[in-house]
Chains A and B, each alone.
Chain A
């Protein structure tokens, strides 16, 4: 079966790749574009470790085909920090020690950033519901939630 040629944007850069018809965006990112930030936890959209933004929407990249992103804009965890500064969500996850093994962390970073862009001042409940699809088997979630709330406060310019 011939491969499909796809032109898209990843983290603002024009990118072209060839993929199999059934190949997921997650596999394309990891195996063809060497962007290994998004992780495969479950491969069935349950765990959130493969979270990326697709045309401004938070999605599970394991439930998107590479072929489906023709002409789209994909943003991954690799595009979030600048050369010399972490994003506040990344910084606060570190400060709060809100990770242990780190497998879920890229997905949490992408998802939490998406929340804070939509809602600058979320309640704890809103953060917990928004991140319900990002499973973490290490932290027990409390530190993650506190880090996200702290990042939100910093981004609003108020100290938590």
Chain B
């Protein structure tokens, strides 16, 4: 295996697109574990961390752009980011231990392709947009359009996500993320939900996004669950309808960490609880 520090994103794309088995490394908290457990090393490990700007969090058009090599700890220390997208930040901060937070990146969490990735439902609910540097130049694609299946994304050979844009949050809006794990810390979601709500002047939900994690081959946006919340103040009937819509959208695996029945039920519970948190953060009164 060779280890090469990319000087810029074009350099990285060229290295990743050149031969078979090149692998980018950002925080390394997935890549190095996979190398160790599989015993297989990539032909080239391309370190992205020295690419100019890739470790920056910058305001852009009222939104916030997060570089691909920004760690979870750095996101958690950024007040502007936490104020605008608290749900995305709380999702990222749930990944791993303090030690892992010091290295792990949100973009790495996305690229790892886990159906249970904590950041992904929050990114879907926030309508985040990934900036991709590829063989044919730069393009912007909604995070939703990159999801494919367990351990896979729609990124092509040589494609590199250099940053993710969290768009400008609408007035009177907020997001939230919740997951269920059998422990209190250091675990993988059994079911999770990211919710983003916008309220009108009367405190009624005007727009909603509801996304679920760990209950299908990829994180999913559930339009019917969002529709159930719109036009309401999260009254009992709306919450029940939202939970039922979430349950219908579930297609989970059955394993020792959660049965199909359990994951399905809990997905609805997580979504409605996250919706209530987002609602209150947005200034709504329950």
Contact = CB atoms under 8 A, between A and B. Distances in A.
A48 B73 CA distance: 16
A63 B100 contact: yes
Interface in A44-77: 44-46, 48, 51, 54, 57-60, 62-65, 67-68, 70
Interface string A24-57: 1000000000000000000111101001001001
Interface string B179-200: 0000011100000000000000
Contacts of A54: 102
A47 B32 CA distance: 15
Contact of A21 (B3, B29, B37, B99): B3
B28 A63 contact: yes
Main DSSP-derived SS at the B contact region: mixed
A43 B36 CA distance: 8
Contacts of B98: 58, 111, 114-115, 130-133
Given A63-B33, A68-B49, A132-B186, A48 B41 contact: no
B160 interface: no
Given A129-B185, A133-B98, A64 B37 contact: no
B1 A45 contact: no
A22 interface: yes
Contact of A58 (B47, B102, B185): B102
Contacts of B1: 1, 21-22
B97 interface: yes
Given A57-B71, A132-B186, A22 B99 contact: no
A129 B187 CA distance: 13
Interface residues of B, number: 28
Contacts of B96: 45, 133
Given A21-B45, A132-B186, A133-B97, A67 B3 contact: yes
Interface size class of A (residues with CB under 8 A): 20 to 34
Nearest to B27: A63
A4 interface: yes
B100 A57 contact: no
A67 B46 CA distance: 12
B2 interface: yes
B103 interface: yes
Interface string B68-109: 000101000000000000000000000011111011000000
B58 interface: no
Contact of A59 (B2, B49, B102): B102
Interface in A91-143: 111, 114-115, 129-134
Contacts of A63: 28-29, 32-33, 99-100, 103
Contacts of A24: 32
B3 to A, nearest CB: 4
A44 B99 contact: no
Nearest to A51: B99
Contacts of B5: 70
B35 A22 contact: yes
Interface of A: 1, 4, 21-22, 24, 43-46, 48, 51, 54, 57-60, 62-65, 67-68, 70, 111, 114-115, 129-134
Given A22-B45, A57-B102, A68-B49, 12 more contacts: A1-B1, A44-B37, A45-B96, A57-B103, A60-B100, A63-B28, A63-B103, A64-B103, A65-B3, A70-B5, A133-B97, A134-B97
12 contacts: A54-B102, A57-B102, A59-B99, A59-B102, A60-B97, A60-B100, A63-B29, A63-B33, A63-B99, A132-B98, A132-B186, A133-B99
